Amino acid sequence: MSSLLTDDVGVTDYSTSPHLAKYPRPNMSEGPSVKVGVLGATGTVGQRFITLLANHPWFVLHALGASPRSAGKPYKTAVNWKQSTRIPAVAQDLIVHECKPEFFSECAVIFSGLDADVAGDIEAAFRAADLAVFSNAKNYRRDPLVPLIVPYVNPNHLAILPQQQAAHAPALKRGFIVTNANCSSTGVVIPLSALEKAFGPIESLLVTTMQAISGAGYPGVPALDIIDNVVPHIGGEEEKMEWEMLKILGGVPKGDDGARSFDMHAKTPLRISASCNRVPVIDGHTACVSLRFSRRPPPSPQQVREALASFTCDAQTLGCPSAPSKIISVHEEADRPQPRLDRYYQDGAGVSVGRIRQCQVLDIKFVVLANNVSIGAATSSIINAELAVLKGVVGGN
């Protein structure tokens, strides 16, 4: 039952398969050589990390961690591989270690795909060993010194890391924890950020999600619960969305004492009501969004379309190799986006928005689709690490 209730991972040419890459991507140019490790490497999020890192131009897969029962085995025999592509050659013969810092001491970056049941203590131990941890787990998202970063929205929140390091006893030089957001929050907050950038604060938000079964992990939702069905409850998901988006969209200003803190969008309060549903789709979270701007009169649907289509962010301008060439695809068709047709847009690193129209209750309503196992999970962590490298927060080997 628990797997049912938990969840944490105009374009004219469309792709229906991850193997039919029709979208232009930025040049994966040469850059620094950075050794990386993956925790939870045999799980579904860990597998996605390994798939994305196998051909990364900067990050070199160096160490893999999993449970003690997998330790000592080559990765290809330790893992129950569930990705649609084969195990990357670079990972097949790597020996799996226990998730202990001493096996990862040569890594400049640690990616954590650990389950929340074990992530807390393990990630804290890696930080204490002065290692930089980029986590997909939920354990530290509410920590007042840990940034919760969606890479296209709030990389400026990395500014709080010196305080996180100074608060540790003893103070850290390189170690820290950065988290990425819940998969359902990520897809929604990207267009919200674009709209606030263009038109100023949003004051009210209603969002209803239709979330894919892969968000519940493997083995996931029992077949008899989800086939021919919609489950109108995902435990803790609605509260997570309502809280996380405030932290992400808010600032991290300095107080009178010079210390930074997350303001939770407090300068212009934002009210959020989320309703979350599990639907029989494998990958791709869809959300129906209605919102009201503080600005009066509000922007027109056409102005919203133009703002979303033209949105750019630091991940693009700084040259993150995993960032898509276009963050938001705006669909003009009345029946798009759809998970089966649009979830692999730009290898799952972009988001798709359609049905932008006037809302008779609030101001504007639209539909957004994001790939929950890509930008909603591992891809976000990887781009967060790329941003940290480019901003000098993490160095090469």
Q: Is 341 helix (H, G, I), strand (E, B) or coil?
A: helix
Of the candidates 56, 157, 285, 331, the residue annotated as catalytic is 285
- Can you read off the two tokens belonging to residue 311? 């949105």
Give how far the C-alpha of residue 330 lies from the chain's centroid of Cα atoms, to the nearest Å.
20
What CA–CA distance (Å, rounded) separates 112 from 90? 19
Counting Cβ atoms within 10 Å, is residue 248 exposed (0-12), middle (13-18) or buried (19+)? buried
359 is catalytic: no
- Are the C-beta atoms of residues 328 and 337 closer than 8 Å to each other? no
Where do runs of H (alpha helix) occur along 54-147? 75-78, 89-92, 116-128
> How many Cβ atoms are within 10 Å of 288's Cβ, its own excluded?
16
183 is catalytic: yes
Q: Is 107 helix (H, G, I), strand (E, B) or coil?
A: coil
**Residue 368 C-beta-side C-alpha neighbours within 13 Å:** 29
- Amino acid type, 382: I
Lay out the sheet containing 109-112: strands in order across.
Answer: 96-98, 59-66, 34-39, 109-112, 132-135, 176-179
Q: Is 243 helix (H, G, I), strand (E, B) or coil?
A: helix
Of the candidates 99, 183, 276, 320, the residue annotated as catalytic is 183
Q: Is 183 helix (H, G, I), strand (E, B) or coil?
A: helix
The residues carrying an active-site annotation are 183, 285
